[in-house]
């Protein structure tokens, strides 16, 4: 079988497997968040944090819970890194520097997992498993909790209550993420991923000399990094490393883990609002974008654009032969359309248009299907905007799921949409102006960019797009381990994660307070294919066009010149 049919077969197989688990997993998650019972281990956790899981919260209280938990997590992870030198299992590694400790703590708490360090040369076993891996679970659970709060905003009326943050956090971790991650880790070990606490040892090389390697609880961290759309690798090579991702089958499993919860959450949404057809409409919009991007990425990377491509048969530079162009392209599309950030190939080596697609996927807001939780609430915000646009077209007050979309709701939605582009473009402009040659006034950042002209600009634009959108993947040509980039990308990650949550929860509270509006002849049928098409158009136009000038300066210019 040739490489192109193999790539198409992988895409088709992924669609089939996701379709098989969509309904049972989506319904199970709905039951988890609607359950009135508490498991024994959950009751113990509630006592530890002093929370009453049966107390309903309005949106300000829910937001305070999100922020309080995240601030404590940030401080805890920062201190763990600063104290690494005296912790057991440090493998002899010293304490992480203050700027990098802040960047890493912000990254994992924000569900970004941007890494400006080499994991196997910087972090010991305790920091990796007790710090980073724990945040992979709970930061994902925070995103799921916020998404469920917004769903309750649509489902409830005249109350303003959105559930209990602590109950949603614990249940998402204990009942959803832990069981699936456990199964994923066992499967990865069976496929060849390592799982141990070995120390540093010498490994001989074929050409002479030796290299140092250390082991670690890799399979367990790999499973939750993909399942929770986190993305931080145990090794610097991330999912291109054979200890993390041994073969083509494990590569497909990791893609499946990335996509399974974000897609299934649309079923959870439909079940909780009382209309699974509404969930299918959101699913259709997400799936159309993901399939379209995957097909375009495969086309750009299989396209023969020069003598080297003609000889190789495709754009093979920066890709692992054990995954092939098809597997690498599917992984790259999936990881940048979600907030995962894991990579099994070198995105900087993709064709100009291929690199542009990875950036555009993040710039859409990572809603197809997006991160765990964040993809659903991001797409629901866009659905609100799409309904508002449709209402303007026919001169009717817009409604969505029986709730009027008025001025207040649109302000919250508009603020949500504007936050991330503002962070990306402002920080990119500052870095180009002050932190790159030949006019750099920051010596520590002056050599950070490895590319020149359009490609160098793409490296900086990609870094802040990845950080502010909580993706975490890197173009890999940028040396981000400088005080400037550690600090600015850290700020972009925190602001890009938690400021939008403010507007999501405020919107949820506003919707939950409303009195339901009965359907009429003029009500827009938001479960029909027409609305799904409108939603795709709104996603591409409202979010994508915001970045078009910056894309024209980087990947589009590079693609047209190659």
Largest CA distance in the chain: 77
Cα(281)–Cα(271) distance, rounded to whole angstroms? 13
User: What's the rounded mean pLDDT across residues 215-243?
Assistant: 90
Question: Is residue 445 pLDDT above 60, yes or no?
Answer: no
Cα(32)–Cα(178) distance, rounded to whole angstroms? 13
Cα(454)–Cα(461) distance, rounded to whole angstroms? 10
Give CA angle at 49 (67, 174), nearest 5°.
Answer: 85
Q: Are strands 200-204 and 210-214 parallel, antiparallel or unpaired?
A: antiparallel
Question: Is residue 229 pLDDT above 60, yes or no?
Answer: yes
Where are the chain's structural domains? 374-561
pLDDT at 478: 74
Cis before residue 369, ω within 30 degrees of 0?
yes
Cα(547)–Cα(545) distance, rounded to whole angstroms? 5
Average pLDDT, the chain: 88
The more confidently predicted of residues 243 and 313 is: 243
Which residue is associated with the tokens 């890494």?
Answer: 115
| Range of lowest pLDDT (99-113, 284-298, 361-375, 541-555) | 541-555
Kindly state the tokens that stand for 163. Answer: 């559930």
pLDDT at 205: 67
Interhelix angle 324-337/3-34, rounded to 10 degrees, is: 30
User: What's the rounded mean pLDDT across residues 477-505?
Assistant: 89
Question: Is residue 2 pLDDT above 50, yes or no?
Answer: yes
DSSP-derived secondary structure for 342-362: --SB-GGGS-HHHHHHHHHHH
Which distant-in-sequence residues (6+ apart) come within 8 Å of 68 by Cβ? none
165-193 pLDDT, tens digit each: 999 999 999 999 999 999 999 999 999 99
Q: Among 251, 260, 225, which residue's Cα sits nearest to residue 329?
A: 251
User: What's the rounded mean pLDDT across residues 483-488?
Assistant: 88
User: What's the rounded mean pLDDT across residues 46-62?
Assistant: 94
Give the DSSP letter of residue 212.
E
- Specify the length of the chain in residues: 562
- In terms of average pLDDT, the best of 207-216, 373-382, 537-546 is 373-382
Q: What are the percentages of helix, strand and coil residues in the chain, rounded to 5?
A: 65, 5, 30
Which distant-in-sequence residues (6+ apart) come within 8 Å of 17 by Cβ? 256
Whole-model pTM: value is 0.92
115-132 pLDDT, tens digit each: 888 888 889 889 999 999
Which distant-in-sequence residues (6+ apart) come within 8 Å of 238 by Cβ? 231, 244, 342, 343, 344
pLDDT at 481: 78
Q: Are strands 210-214 and 399-400 parallel, antiparallel or unpaired?
A: unpaired
Helices (H), ranges, 447-528: 453-468, 483-513
């Amino acid at each position: 079988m040739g490489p192109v049919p193999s790539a198409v077969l992988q895409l088709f197989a992924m669609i089939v497997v996701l379709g098989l688990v969509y309904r049972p997993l989506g319904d199970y998650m709905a039951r988890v968040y609607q359950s009135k019972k508490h498991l024994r281990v959950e009751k113990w956790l509630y006592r530890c944090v002093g929370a009453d899981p049966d107390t309903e919260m309005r949106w300000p209280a829910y937001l305070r819970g999100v922020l309080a938990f995240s601030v404590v997590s940030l401080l805890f992870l920062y201190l763990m890194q600063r104290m690494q030198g005296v912790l057991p299992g440090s493998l002899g590694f010293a304490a992480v520097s203050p700027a990098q400790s802040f960047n890493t703590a912000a990254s994992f708490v924000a569900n970004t997992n941007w890494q400006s360090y080499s994991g196997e040369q910087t972090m010991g076993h305790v920091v990796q498993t007790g710090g980073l891996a724990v945040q992979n679970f709970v930061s994902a659970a925070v995103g799921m909790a916020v998404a469920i709060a917004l769903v309750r905003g649509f489902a409830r009326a005249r109350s303003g209550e959105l559930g209990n943050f602590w109950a949603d956090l614990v249940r998402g971790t204990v009942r959803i993420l832990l069981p699936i991650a456990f199964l994923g880790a066992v499967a990865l070990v069976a496929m060849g991923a390592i799982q141990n606490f070995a120390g540093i040892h010498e490994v001989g090389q074929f050409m002479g000399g030796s290299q140092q390697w250390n082991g670690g609880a890799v399979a367990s961290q790999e499973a939750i990094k993909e399942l929770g759309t986190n993305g931080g690798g145990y090794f610097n090579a991330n999912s291109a490393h054979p200890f993390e991702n041994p073969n083509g089958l494990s590569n497909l499993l990791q893609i499946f883990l990335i996509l399974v919860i974000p897609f299934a959450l649309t079923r959870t949404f439909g079940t909780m609002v009382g209309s699974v057809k509404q969930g299918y409409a959101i699913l259709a919009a997400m799936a159309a974008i993901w399939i379209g991007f995957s097909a375009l990425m495969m086309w750009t990377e299989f396209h023969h654009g020069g003598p080297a491509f003609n000889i190789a048969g495709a754009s093979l530079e920066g890709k692992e032969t054990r995954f092939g162009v098809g597997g690498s392209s599917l992984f790259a599309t999936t990881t940048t359309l979600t907030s995962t950030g894991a990579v099994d190939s070198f995105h900087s080596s993709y064709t100009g248009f291929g690199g542009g697609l990875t950036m555009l996927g993040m710039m859409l807001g990572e809603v197809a299907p997006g991160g765990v939780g964040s993809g659903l609430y991001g797409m629901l915000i866009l659905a609100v905007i799409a309904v508002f646009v449709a209402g303007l077209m026919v001169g009717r007050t817009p409604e969505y799921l029986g709730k009027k979309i008025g001025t207040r709701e649109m302000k919250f939605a508009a603020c949500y949409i504007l936050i991330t582009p503002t962070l990306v473009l402002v920080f990119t402009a500052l870095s180009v102006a002050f932190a790159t040659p030949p006019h750099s006034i920051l010596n520590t950042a002056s050599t950070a960019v490895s590319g020149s002209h359009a490609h160098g600009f793409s490296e900086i634009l990609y870094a802040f797009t990845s950080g502010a959108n909580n993706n975490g993947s890197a173009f890999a040509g940028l040396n981000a381990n400088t005080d400037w980039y550690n600090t600015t990308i850290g700020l972009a990650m925190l602001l890009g994660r938690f400021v939008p949550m403010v507007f999501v929860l405020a919107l949820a509270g506003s919707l939950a307070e409303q009195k339901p509006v009965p359907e009429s002849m003029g009500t827009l049928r938001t479960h029909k294919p027409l609305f799904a098409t409108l939603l795709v158009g709104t996603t591409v136009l409202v979010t994508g066009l915001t970045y078009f000038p910056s894309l024209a300066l980087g990947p589009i210019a590079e693609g047209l010149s190659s």
